[in-house]
Amino acid sequence: MKSALSSLDIAVIGGSITGCSAAAELARGGARVTLFERSGEELKDRGAGIGIPPSAVEAYVARDLIGADVPYFHAGSFVRRWRSLGEPELGHLAWAQPTTLRLLNWGMLYRNLRARVPDGVYRTGCRVTALEDEGDKVRVLLEDGASARFDLVVCADGYASLGRRTLFPEITTDYAGYVLWRGSLPEHHLKQSAPLESGIHAVGYEGGHGIFYFVPGPEGGTRVGERLVNWGMYLPVADLQSFMVDRAGRVHEGSLPPGAMALHAEADLKTGARDKLPAFYADIVAQSEDTYAYAICDCEIPAYRVGRICLAGDAGAFARPHTGTGALKGVTDAIALRNALEAAEEVDAALTVWSDAQTEANNRLVRFGRQLGNALVREIPDWSRMDAVAMERWFNGTVTIDTEVFAKE
Ligand SMILES: Cc1cc2nc3c(=O)[nH]c(=O)nc-3n(C[C@H](O)[C@H](O)[C@H](O)COP(=O)(O)OP(=O)(O)OC[C@H]3O[C@@H](n4cnc5c(N)ncnc54)[C@H](O)[C@@H]3O)c2cc1C
């Protein structure tokens, strides 16, 4: 049987985690692939840490999407703590919630995937400005005025996707009412590393929680002293527009990149962190430079394809970061798309099957993210008076959607 995939001329829009995965997989399946990335250079590291279930990491290695030597740490629990006067340094340990996640450095994952996109496929400095449906072809228009026709377009262009806006103009990403303020700190700045060896730390406070964990350093260093503490604090922000003003007075759309936040705003957030966190964690936050923030949004979508235009990764259903599935979802969408097209003789039938499966699975993740957001941010109970039994009862009664992120005992 000749697969539908091998006859296709495919455009992938976006050259990050999802775009590289899609380009590598579809090209290996025999398609002619062109990837358009708007950035003029290789992508920079953003967000230091990625948590991925072990089965997914093993699958990526088996498919040679990443090398077997990609560095990671294993996290066996979410260590849930709350500030306590009696335990000023680390706070009250409420629960070590079981998990099985591998913690990777975003940049290492990206560079592994990028290295598997064939030469000549990845075109930088190419911003796509419009997509025109021409039946069994799609015309891709670029900012420089050029255009080209493809049999299939895979939009892997992130949370503000042009592809999603083109297919579903009525769908907006909804602001959840809180932001994630983030930073990282080289390990050598820590007074002590021992507390963070035990997994992913989730430190609760009224109106949110902070996340702290080790990831391999920028060059993949995993030895003591080479690691990076990756952290984030969820904070309610009612007036998002005022929060998103940078140090030059410009208002940003949904995120303040590293180095953009006004110094007085960053100083105020660090002071606020002292009132929310036990000293060990507040010190990490206080010492971090060039912190950044983004608004937490999400959206479900009705389908992953309309005609010959497909969505993948964050361009599709967009879940809150509590789910820890950003990278996983993008790679999974790409692998599933190749599998569906390879298994079929007819393109449109394969796309429908793929779209139905991704829509169901990924919208479910969005709903999972909302449950976690309500439990861990908007309606977080005071963990300072809770023990492991009470915590488990509360969590299982509040978060009812199962995923691999939280291992069941
Ligand atoms: C600020 C920020 C921080 C994050 N930090 C983390 C983290 O620490 N851990 C984690 O697990 N996840 C994190 N995520 C999410 C994670 O980066 C993504 O889920 C993951 O990279 C998969 O995304 P993606 O490839 O689908 O989209 P993205 O990584 O957003 O990539 C989209 C790509 O498309 C390109 N593009 C967009 N529009 C066009 C266009 N019109 N033409 C051509 N190219 C275009 C962009 O330049 C970009 O390279 C973060 C996301 C954001 C926005």
The CATH number assigned to the domain holding 206 equals 3.30.9.60
The residue behind tokens 């959840």 is 176
Structure tokens at 383: 């963990």
Q: Judge if 234 and 362 occupy the same domain.
A: no
Closest ligand 1 atom to 257 CA: 1
Residue 409: pLDDT over 50:
no
Give percent of the chain with pLDDT exceeding 70. 97
User: In this structure, is residue 35 part of a structural domain?
Assistant: yes
Q: What is the average pLDDT score of the chain?
A: 93
CATH code: domain of residue 147: 3.50.50.60
- State the pLDDT at residue 220: 82
Distance (angstroms) between ligand 1 centre and the Cα of 230 equals: 18
Q: Provide the angle, in degrees to the nearest 10, between the axes of the packed helices 263-276 and 279-287.
A: 170
Q: Judge if 194 and 333 occupy the same domain.
A: no
How many of the other CB atoms lie within 10 Å of CB of 84? 17
Residue 182 near ligand 1, beta carbon < 6 Å: no
Domain extent for 153: 5-41+124-172+299-370
How many of the other CB atoms lie within 10 Å of CB of 404? 16
Phi, psi of 139 (to 5 degrees): -95, 130
Secondary structure (3-state) at 91: coil
Residue 405: pLDDT over 70:
no
Residue 407: pLDDT over 70:
no
Residue 113: Cβ-neighbour burial (10 angstroms; 0-12, 13-18, 19+): buried
How many of the other CB atoms lie within 10 Å of CB of 67? 14
Closest ligand 1 atom to 255 CA: 1
Residue 225: pLDDT over 80:
yes
Residue 298 near ligand 1, beta carbon < 6 Å: no
Quick one: pLDDT band at residue 406, thresholds 50, 70, 90?
low
Which spans in 141-199 are helix H? Answer: 162-167
Residue 46 near ligand 1, beta carbon < 6 Å: yes
Task: Give me the residues paired with residue 216 across strands.
Answer: none
Q: Judge if 303 and 292 occupy the same domain.
A: no
Domain count, the chain: 2
Whether 82 contacts 210, CB under 8 Å = no
Quick one: pLDDT band at residue 362, thresholds 50, 70, 90?
very high
Q: Judge if 11 and 94 occupy the same domain.
A: no
User: In this structure, is residue 366 part of a structural domain?
Assistant: yes
Quick one: pLDDT band at residue 279, thresholds 50, 70, 90?
very high
Distance (angstroms) between ligand 1 centre and the Cα of 327 equals: 9
Q: Judge if 145 and 291 occupy the same domain.
A: no
Distance (angstroms) between ligand 1 centre and the Cα of 76 equals: 27
Distance (angstroms) between ligand 1 centre and the Cα of 141 equals: 21
Whether 144 contacts 266, CB under 8 Å = no
Specify the pTM: 0.93
Q: Judge if 307 and 288 occupy the same domain.
A: no
Substitution site in 12, 18, 110 for ligand 1 pocket (most atoms within 8 Å of beta carbon): 18
Closest ligand 1 atom to 50 CA: 11
Q: Which residue has the higher pLDDT, 158 or 221?
A: 158
